Amino acid sequence: MDNVEDRETPSEPFLKQSQIRDVPCCCSQRWILAYTSFVGFFFVYSLRVNISVAIVCMVKTPNTTTANAFDNSSSSICTGTASSRQVFNEHAEFDWNKEVTSSILASFFYGYIITQIPGGWLSDRFGGRYVFGIAMAISSICTLLTPVCARNSVVSVYVLRVILGLATGVSFPCVQSMWGRWAPPLERSKLISVSFLGTMFGNVATFGSSGYLCEYGFDNGWGSIFYITGGLSAIWVVIWFVVVRDTPSEHPWISEVERDYINNAIEYDTSKRTGKVPWLEMAKSPALLACTTAHICNNWTNYTLLTSLPAFLKAVHKFNIKSNGLLSALPYICQAVSGFSSGQIADILRSKGVLSTTATRRLLQIIAFSGSGIFLVATGFTSCEHRSLAITFLSLAVGINGFCRAGYVVNHVDFGPKYAGVLYGITNSFATIPGMLAPIVAGQLTPNDTQEEWRNVFYVCAAFNVLGILVYGCFSRGEIQEWAKDEEEIVIEKQNDNMETKL
């Protein structure tokens, strides 16, 4: 999934322990920023994936005469020929073919890939509060306009999805920039993990509710999905601008104790801009190559499932539209649990000296790739008569994949903490390419939506997982790289080495 976590440092806070005890915690302004960011990322992903379920009930299904009888069936038994078992939604309005729907699902990523690195630069230059807030306002408007534009022209839907991608592409580097000014070193993992946990809950809530909205919502069912998600995110934008500020010093409601605690704890002067970025050294870094490859391989599976899972459950396992949304959400509930747990496991392994940082990252990432690939392939061999087993395998595949959050996702901060935002922007830019290609490839591989065709889609995902294991397992690094160190650090290390040599 699109997440960044800062490294906690063992340095002692600058304030006295008696003063630290007086610093507010759960209701403090830094935690309010975490809660507000959580809801923000909830809506970022709601606006991203809402069309994945909506498009299932927007597009007319062939052979509707015989299929209509199966629409509201809750039976787990699959009978009849393939054509008679098509799930038809009486609210469908569009005759879009497979190529059109695949292109609509992919169009978001044509915009998303462009604004990754610029999003971080804009946040440093103008403040993350404005950049993220304006981007989400644009995203809300695009979502609210989708039903009207869909009924007018399919081209306008492409345009809206590209604009939505451009806007939401700034989200992760933007909030990363803000946490660089708000998160004390010993609280970074907790604050940032809470913020980005909203992405998984956004998937769960949107997949889980969209099926019911398709069936019972207003504006022919599917239209309500866009109006509700777009309207609620617009309300969030107002709240964001009211309660959030770019730095503790600018916040009108922060206590003096908390402001001093944050400003004294952060290691650098947050009023200064980021220094020169060592682009050439980054490009030659094996550690960055490993993270980029892992990010690409992981996102191929993620984006395949995010955009195509509802279609797979409908076409192969014949779930009706209400069950489809809930079942599409179930794997991401599992991922939320594993994503949170993997961070705790990683910290225990490292703090107790069981494994080095490099070994810990490699182990958890290999578990994520191998488990995901095995259970996805297993899913491809489950027939409609055993669709409960298919849901189990899918949940295990997506759930185990959550271990990547303690693998390559946090690894950027291990080997280049000073440039973690830029590093994540670089890898996520390359990792957006699967978002553009995966839905199209899935569409090309499944012209008839048969079980055998969808099995090939999962084979492709598994092949990317194997590639990720090989590259990340060989080239990932857990220690900070030379090019990522401050000049002062390098001078001190050389002096220490010289002293040890003399001794």
Domain 26-61+90-266 CATH class label: mainly alpha
Task: Quick: pLDDT tens for 185-242.
Answer: 666 666 777 787 888 888 788 877 877 788 788 888 888 999 999 999 999 999 999 9
Q: What is the mean pLDDT of residues 297-309?
A: 84
Query: What does the pLDDT read at residue 141?
Result: 95
What was the pLDDT predicted at 487? Answer: 56
Q: What is the pLDDT of residue 65?
A: 35
Residue 15: φ, ψ to 5°: -85, 155
Which is more confident, 368 or 435? 368
Helices and strands in the chain: count of H runs, count of E runs: 22, 0
pLDDT at res. 249? 82
Tokens of 355: 């494994």
pLDDT classification of 466: cutoffs 50, 70, 90:
very high
Would you say the CATH fold of 276-502 matches that of 26-61+90-266? yes
Between 355 and 296, the higher pLDDT residue: 296
Which comes out higher in pLDDT, residue 322 or 83?
Answer: 322
How much is the pLDDT for 246? 85
CA atoms within 13 A on the CB side of 280: 0
Mean pLDDT of 362-376: 92
For residue 464, the surrounding DSSP H or E stretch is: helix 451-475
Quick check: pTM over 0.85?
no
String of DSSP letters for 124-190:
HHH-HHHHHHHHHHHHHHHHHHHHHHHHH-HHHHHHHHHHHHHHHTTHHHHHHHHHHHH--GGGHHH
pLDDT at position 250 over 70: yes
Coil, helix or strand at residue 66 = helix
* 498 burial via Cβ count (<10 Å: 0-12, 13-18, 19+): exposed
Q: Which of 83-97, 245-259, 293-307, 430-444 has the lowest mean pLDDT?
A: 83-97
* pLDDT at position 488: 47
Question: Which DSSP state fits 59?
Answer: B
What pLDDT sits at residue 490?
Answer: 47
Beta carbons within 10 angstroms of residue 449's beta carbon: 17
Angle at 493 between CA 491 and CA 498, to 5 degrees: 95
Residue type, 247: T
317: helix, coil or strand? coil
Please check whether the domain covering 276-502 is classified as CATH 1.20.1250.20. Answer: yes
pLDDT at 344 over 90: no
Residues 399 and 338: beta-carbon distance below 8 Å = yes
DSSP-based three-state secondary structure for 94: strand
Give one word for 464, left, alpha or beta, with left for phi > 0 and alpha for psi -120 to 50. Answer: alpha
DSSP assignment string, 223-254: HHHHHHHHHHHHHHHHHHHHH--SSGGG-SS-
Q: Where are the domains of the chain?
A: 26-61+90-266, 276-502
List Cβ neighbours of 431 (8 Å cut-off, separation of 6 or more).
292, 295, 296, 298, 299
CA-to-CA distance for 210 and 50, rounded, in angstroms? Answer: 7
pLDDT at 2 over 50: no
Residue 134 has a pLDDT of: 94
Percentage with pLDDT > 90 across the chain: 23
Measured between alpha carbons, how far is 444 from 381 in angstroms, rounded to an integer?
Answer: 20
Percent of the chain with pLDDT over 70: 79
Q: Is the pLDDT of residue 401 over 60?
A: yes
The pLDDT score that the predictor gives to residue 495 is 44
462: exposed, middle or buried (Cβ count in 10 Å: 0-12, 13-18, 19+): buried
Q: How far apart are CA 400 and CA 335, in angstroms?
A: 7
Residue 9: which pLDDT band, with cuts at 50, 70 and 90?
very low
For residues 431 and 343, which has the higher predicted lDDT (pLDDT)? 431
Question: Is residue 5's pLDDT more than 70?
Answer: no
pLDDT value of residue 80: 40
Rounded-to-integer distance, Cα 496 and Cα 99, Å: 62
Tell me if 129 sits within 8 A of 244, measured CB to CB.
yes
Distance (Å, whole) CA 358 – CA 355: 8
* pLDDT tens figures, 174-196: 887 787 777 776 666 667 777 87
Per residue in 140-178, pLDDT (tens digit) is 999 999 999 989 988 999 999 999 999 999 888 888 778
Question: Measured between alpha carbons, how far is residue 426 from residues 101, 159, 285, 421 in Å?
Answer: 29, 25, 13, 9
- Confidence class for position 13, pLDDT limits 50, 70, 90: very low
Cα four-point dihedral sign 424, 33, 131, 112: positive
pLDDT of residue 66: 31
Note the pLDDT of residue 268: 52
Which position has the token pair 């062939």? 62
For 3, the 3-state DSSP assignment is coil
**Length reported for the chain:** 503
What is the predicted pLDDT for the residue at 185? 60
How far is residue 427 CA from its own chain's centroid? 13
Amino acid 474: pLDDT: 92
pLDDT in tens, 323-332: 555 666 778 7
Q: Between these two residues, 442 and 65, which has the higher pLDDT value? A: 442
Whether residue 469 contacts residue 366, with contact meaning beta carbons closer than 8 Å, is answered with: yes
pLDDT, residue 160, reads 94
- Rounded to the nearest integer, the mean pLDDT of the chain is 78
Residues 102-115 have pLDDT tens digits of 788 878 888 988 88
End-to-end CA distance of the chain: 50
